[in-house]
Structure formats: structure tokens, C-alpha cells
Amino acid sequence: MQDKLTLMIPGPTPVPETVLKSLGQHPIGHRSTEFQAIVSKTSEQLQWLHQTKHDVLTITGSGTAAMEAGIINTLSKGDKVLCGSNGKFGERWVKVAKAYEIDVEVIKANWGEALDPEAFRRALEADKNKQIQAVIITHSETSTGVLNDLETISQYVHAHGKAIIIADCVTSLGACNVPMDKWGLDVIASGSQKGYMMPPGLSFVALSQRAWELQKKSNLPKFYLDLNPYKKTAEKNSNPFTPAVNLYFALESALEIMQAEGLEAIYARHARHSKAAQTGMQAMGMPVFSAKGCGSPAITAVAPKNIDAEQLRKAVKEKYDILLAGGQDHLKGKVFRIGHLGFVNDRDILTAIAAIEATLYSLDLLESKMGAGVEAASVVLNEKN
Ligand SMILES: *Cc1c(COP(=O)(O)O)cnc(C)c1O
């Protein structure tokens, strides 16, 4: 039905009406004092979201721009890095690093399982000559719905003494706790179309003091993504180039909504939705793809047994106008993913589960009793903490 689409994919995510309206204004001059006030305010709001006192820089681009900026601003030719890979986005980090001729050692885990922090500890402890310059991981691996243990891996990186930790927090920031300064994270990359409840178009990169020290030495080629001009202009509440002015309106508005809800409440909501989605799917006899205990707060990947995941996904879209995400690479047809990131409430979760349940019923493939998924999810959503 026209205009009825509900996005339940891990980006782009739904956008609140207040944020949509903020976009529909005339652009203002990006060197005006009015715009400087917005840059000043959003910079503070971004520090609040990242729980950091360091600068969080805004780049016009998708999340990958922030990832690439993180690499090319801290590393130099031939540097050695450890890169975690347990899904499509871990693989992306490896590709970005290799594109700049970084010497990459990949630490893998099976898709659906979390990276093993011990594997990082061992590799870092074995590095007696301090060759490793960075450890690079994806916090929430969107392709498999797995949350990696960034906090523990960051501790091992700090024990090494030289390496920095670079993290893709694109689907964890604004979904679960990512305290940049407390965990000692050196680089965090994120993008507007995920937890920020905004359309795509802005990406964000935050650097610690250690990362800025490396920035001075870094000799990888860069121009648009050279963060030095971004930092210099940020000090004057400005940007090196013409920023996406209207997306800044949306950023200010979306972060105001997030601040009104509060970080703890945002994390609790995502945790509740993740548990409800997992429990609801299992109650319908549909196995959750991520290993027990490491489900992402932002995405639940489901591996149905008796139906092609693409067929189910297409039927849910056609019958109910709910867009679920498919499986990537070898998981295509085997997995579908429910995005519950950002502007999502309990109603969205119940509706998605009910739609999946009714679709299975219509295809004569529902193995559980009708309503079992919705019932199980409702119980979780009504749990008192
Ligand atoms: C969406 C996403 C990205 C960024 O992808 P873009 O399409 O460049 O915005 C990076 N990492 C993860 C884990 C993601 O989910």
C-alpha cells in the first residue's frame, strides 16, 4: 500500500516525523552564525552520545566513509593490524585496510559466533617487538546479528601498550552502551541511518588523544577524508567543505529526541526488543542465527528451517508492507534479519512478529500454535525489571 512501508532493516531505519519536518526547510549558509550554532550544539550532543570529551567529527558520507577515515588517519604504509572478521562488515574492514596496503592479520570466527577475545589477547601478547599498530573490529556485526565483546578486546589492546583500537560502532552506538572514554576506544565510526533515527548521508568519526598522535605521523594518501581540516574547523564550529546542511537540522532534532529519552532508557529499550524478537521467533520454532548470549541489540538474524528466507521475506513485504533484511553472501535464502534499531517501539516488534506468524500461517508453514510468537514476545515486553 502506498506510503505504508515500515522499515525493519538495519539501516536505513525509520525516521520520526519531527526529524523529517526539520529536513524540509530552506538550507542556510554553511558559514553563517546560525549554522555555527547548530554545529556547536550537535558537537556537544555527539559527545554525549559517544560518552567522550574528544571531538566527534561529522563527515558527509555513509558509514563506510567514517570507517575509511579511521584507517587512513591513524595508520601508515606497511603498518601491521589485527582485524576481527565474523561477518560481512568485518570483511569490509579487511578490504579497506588492504586497499591501503596495510599488513592485515585476520582473526576470524564463524558467522553467527562472536569473536573470541582470547584470540586477540594471545596475538597481542605474542607481539614482543610491538609490531601491531591497531586492532580493528566491528562491535555489532549487522550481517549475522552478533555483538562482539568490544570492552574486553579493548582492555587487551591497552595492555599491549602500543596498538590502538578502531571500532565500527555503526549498529551499536545508540543501541547499547559504548562509553568511548571509559573503554579507552581510540576510533569509533558510525552513520546517520542507523541508531541516529535519521536518513542516510552523515557519518561520524571520533578519535582519542592516542589516535590524534598517530594522525600527525600517518602517511596514507587522503584529501576529502583528511581529518585534520575537520578538527581545525570544528574548533570554530565549522566544516572544511559544504556539509549536508539539512541533514544537520535532522541531526540536531534527532539527538534532542534521544537526549529526552536518555541513554539508559534507549539501551534498555533495545535490549528488551532484542529479547522479545529472539523469544518470539523461537516460540514459532524459528532458530535465532546468532550463538546464545551474543545477540545484537539492533538486529535479530533468524534461520528458518522449513522455508526459504527470501520467500518469507518477500511475502511479509507483499502482505504487510514490512521490510525485513535478507541474508548476505552464503546466508542468502538461509537467513532473514529483523532490524530493531533506532526509532522502534514495542508496537513495531509485536507487529513484525505477528506479520511473520501470519505469513507462515498463510503459506501453511506455521509449526507452532497460532499466536505463540506474539504471546512469547508480549510476555518479554511486559517483564518488570
Ligand atoms: C550499515 C553498516 C555500515 C556502514 O555502511 P554504509 O552503507 O557505508 O553506511 C558499517 N558497518 C556496519 C556494521 C553496518 O551495519
Q: For residue range 143-190, list pLDDT tens digits in order.
A: 999 999 999 999 999 999 999 999 999 999 999 999 999 999 999 999
Q: Between β-strands 103-108 and 132-138, what pairing exists: parallel, antiparallel or unpaired?
A: unpaired
Which strands form 322-326's sheet, in the order they lie side by side? 6-8, 322-326, 336-339, 299-302
Question: In this structure, which residue's CA is closest to atom 15 in ligand 1?
Answer: 142
* CATH of span 6-12+263-381: 3.90.1150.10
Q: Where are the domains of the chain?
A: 6-12+263-381, 17-260
3-state secondary structure of 7: strand
Q: 385 pLDDT exceeds 80?
A: no
Q: What is the pLDDT of residue 384?
A: 87
Give the pLDDT confidence of 106-130 residue by residue, as tens digits: 999 999 999 999 999 999 999 999 9
Report the nearest atom of ligand 1 relative to the CA of 11.
1
Q: Is the dihedral of CA 184, 189, 192, 197 positive or negative?
A: negative
Question: In this structure, which residue's CA is closest to atom 2 in ligand 1?
Answer: 170
Pick the CATH number of 17-260 from 3.40.640.10, 1.20.120.550, 3.30.70.1450, 3.30.70.990: 3.40.640.10
Q: Is the CB of 351 under 6 A from ligand 1?
A: no
- Output the CA 63–ligand 1 centroid distance in Å: 5
Our mutation pick for probing the ligand 1 site, out of 83, 89, 193, counting the most ligand atoms within 8 A of Cβ, is 89
> With a threshold of 0.95, does the pTM exceed it?
yes
